[in-house]
Amino acid sequence: MAEAQANIGVVGLAVMGSNLARNLARHGNTVAVYNRSYGRTETLIQEHGSEGTFVPAKTIEEFVGSLAKPRTAIIMVKAGEPTDAMINALADAMEPGDIIVDGGNAYFPDTIRREKAIRERGLHFVGCGISGGEEGALNGPSMMPGGTDESWKTLGPILESIAAVAEGEPCVTHIGHDGAGHFVKMVHNGIEYADMQLIGESYDLLRRGLGMSAEEIASTFDEWNKGELDSYLVEITAEVLHHVDAKTGKPFVDVVVDHAGMKGTGTWTVQTALSLATPVTGIAEAVFARGLSSMVAQREEVKNKPLAGPDGKIAYASEEEKAAFVEAVRQALYASKIVAYAQGFDEIRAGAAEHDWSIDLGAVARIWRGGCIIRAKFLNRISDAFDSGEKFESLLQDAYFKAAVENAQDAWRNVVATAARVGIPVPAFSSSLSYYDGLRSDRLPAALIQGQRDFFGAHTYGRVDMPGTFHTLWSGDRSEVEA
């Protein structure tokens, strides 16, 4: 049996797992490593063993035996059944007080269930969202751990040692109990979907609408990335657009099949939001837009039998007019992006209330400033807003964001109207604008919906001028009765 010397272990050595193990080792941790097939473990040690101290193990028992107490192991295997199998194998070999961390993109209700089952066995279970992809795992991810306060005491310093650093602070915080970490990671991914869709719509308007080349648009995104839109996603968008396909010499973006894939976290964000009655419209439209892109049969049918409509071209009389529209798109992107983040934070707030988690929204914004996919300069402003102690129901009421959206709204409206006129789909831009106008509306047509509901189903309604619940006798004399 190996000497119990490792302060942390990693199970599952595919790219994410081995990069995380290397990051841990590079930061002075002694890292036990285990993979179902030993070949991967050997490769890691051969190729990167010199980067720090690794303790390779051939069996789960050997792996657990090499961990110092409280034994702490991060599982980096496929979400779903493989995760359950590994959690059980570890729990069988571990002792009360030990800590099992699931670093995958687990669905938070699964994390709640697993945490309860493992807690009942006297161990700790931490669902930890990890963002930043392969590069982040190696050089500094943003991490969102849930679980008990006690597990955080051991795990916190370890995660802090490998997290991305933003303005001197590690991008990790204890989010809340049981599934809180995976919940916040789920919403992170939802915002990621919205942000990517908004960037995609901007690209479409410039490419199809204004007829700009991929290279010109790449340079436009490079410019945008220097200002208030400064973010990882805008930065990599420029990189993707600059890229030229070696086989054909065409812009890379032109040789990629336009069916967007998804692994499910965006869908979970929307499903969860629906059950919480939180309108995350930007995220929902982003998920549906990926769905539409992949409706192969329908799109093929329309290619053969076109549906009539305008040709997507935006007319402009001068270079100045064209430049003005590009600037309008930039502003529309900024305003819609603010709405997407505001909606995401609304969902976190609603989830926290539902599940009794105490989540510090300012801290969430702070750990998203570095390492993660949605890292963006304006997250500083979001954390300032939440940390200010100012009371607001929506981030859109914070003075900074209120002014930002108000300033951008003429451009935003122009972009949405133009897109509708020329026939370019902008579901995320337009739904974000409608959300904004919905919030602004003094009276909503929901009053009429209440009337309809009462008419066909006696669902009752409230009155603006008196308390109580009422019903109109629609099929009788149409007098009103108290319900």
Q: According to the binding rule CB under 6 A, does residue 372 interact with ligand 6PG?
A: yes
Nearer to ligand 6PG, 270 or 328 (CB): 270
Ligand-binding annotation for 52, yes or no, is no
Q: According to the binding rule CB under 6 A, does residue 263 interact with ligand 6PG?
A: yes
β-strands 8-11, 72-75 pairing? parallel
From 34-42, 257-265, 381-389, 460-468, span contacting ligand 6PG (CB under 6 A) = 257-265
DSSP one-letter string for 440-459 = H-SS-THHHHHHHHHHHH--
Q: Which helix (H) or strand (E) holds 100?
A: strand 99-102
One-letter amino acid of 69: K
Angle between helices 180-204 and 265-276 (to 10 degrees): 110
* Helix, strand, coil abundance in the chain, percent, nearest 5: 55, 10, 30
Which is nearest to 133 in space by CA: 232, 26, 272, 244? 232
What minimum distance in Å lies between the beta carbon of 261 and ligand 6PG? 6
Nearer to ligand 6PG, 132 or 170 (CB): 132
- Cα-Cα-Cα-Cα dihedral sign, residues 411, 317, 217, 209: positive
Nearer to ligand 6PG, 15 or 353 (CB): 15
Please, are residues 155 and 72 in contact by the beta-carbon 8 Å criterion?
yes
DSSP three-state, residue 210? coil
Q: How far, in Å, CA of 50 to CA of 30, rounded?
A: 12
Which residue matches tokens 């009794």? 356
DSSP three-state, residue 183? helix
Nearer to ligand 6PG, 78 or 263 (CB): 263
Site string for ligand 6PG, 190-209 (x = CB under 6 A): --x-----------------
Site string for ligand 6PG, 156-195 (x = CB under 6 A): ---------------------------------x--x---
Nearer to ligand 6PG, 322 or 375 (CB): 375
Ligand-binding annotation for 471, yes or no, is no
Q: According to the binding rule CB under 6 A, does residue 272 interact with ligand 6PG?
A: no
Ligand-binding annotation for 453, yes or no, is yes
Paired tokens of 452: 């309809």
Nearer to ligand 6PG, 265 or 418 (CB): 265
DSSP three-state, residue 144? strand
Which is nearest to 366 in space by CA: 161, 157, 128, 166? 166
Half-sphere exposure for 357 (CA within 13 Å, toward CB): 29
Ligand-binding annotation for 12, yes or no, is yes
Question: Of 185, 201, 285, 347, which one is the catalytic site residue?
Answer: 185
192 is catalytic: yes
β-strands 124-131, 99-102 pairing? parallel
What minimum distance in Å lies between the beta carbon of 173 and ligand 6PG? 16
DSSP three-state, residue 462? coil
Nearer to ligand 6PG, 198 or 373 (CB): 373
Ligand-binding annotation for 133, yes or no, is yes
One-letter amino acid of 182: H
Q: According to the binding rule CB under 6 A, does residue 105 interact with ligand 6PG?
A: yes
Measured in whole angstroms, the distance separating CA 366 from the mean position of its chain's CA atoms is: 15
Residue 5 CB: number of other CB atoms within 10 A?
12
Paired tokens of 187: 């919403």
Nearer to ligand 6PG, 197 or 331 (CB): 197
| Window 110 to 139, contacts with ligand 6PG (CB under 6 A) | 131-133
Ligand-binding annotation for 13, yes or no, is yes
Ligand-binding annotation for 79, yes or no, is yes
From 165-173, 229-237, 258-266, 383-391, span contacting ligand 6PG (CB under 6 A) = 258-266
Please, are residues 98 and 111 in contact by the beta-carbon 8 Å criterion?
no
What minimum distance in Å lies between the beta carbon of 195 and ligand 6PG? 11
Q: How far, in Å, CA of 428 to CA of 137, rounded?
A: 30
337 is catalytic: no
Q: According to the binding rule CB under 6 A, does residue 19 interact with ligand 6PG?
A: no
For ligand 6PG (CB under 6 A), the number of binding residues is 13
**Taking CB positions, which residue lies at the least distance from ligand 6PG?**
131
Q: According to the binding rule CB under 6 A, does residue 231 interact with ligand 6PG?
A: no
Q: According to the binding rule CB under 6 A, does residue 262 interact with ligand 6PG?
A: yes
Ligand-binding annotation for 413, yes or no, is no
Q: According to the binding rule CB under 6 A, does residue 343 interact with ligand 6PG?
A: no
Please, are residues 221 and 234 in contact by the beta-carbon 8 Å criterion?
yes
Paired tokens of 467: 């308390």
What minimum distance in Å lies between the beta carbon of 383 and ligand 6PG? 18
Question: Of 192, 201, 228, 347, which one is the catalytic site residue?
Answer: 192
Site residues for ligand 6PG per CB under 6 A? 105, 131-133, 189, 192, 261-263, 265-266, 372-373
Annotated binding site for NADP(+): 12-17, 35-37, 77-79, 105
Residues assigned a catalytic role: 185, 192
Annotated binding site for substrate: 105, 131-133, 188-189, 193, 263, 290, 453, 459
Annotated binding site: 12-17, 35-37, 77-79, 105, 131-133, 188-189, 193, 263, 290, 453, 459
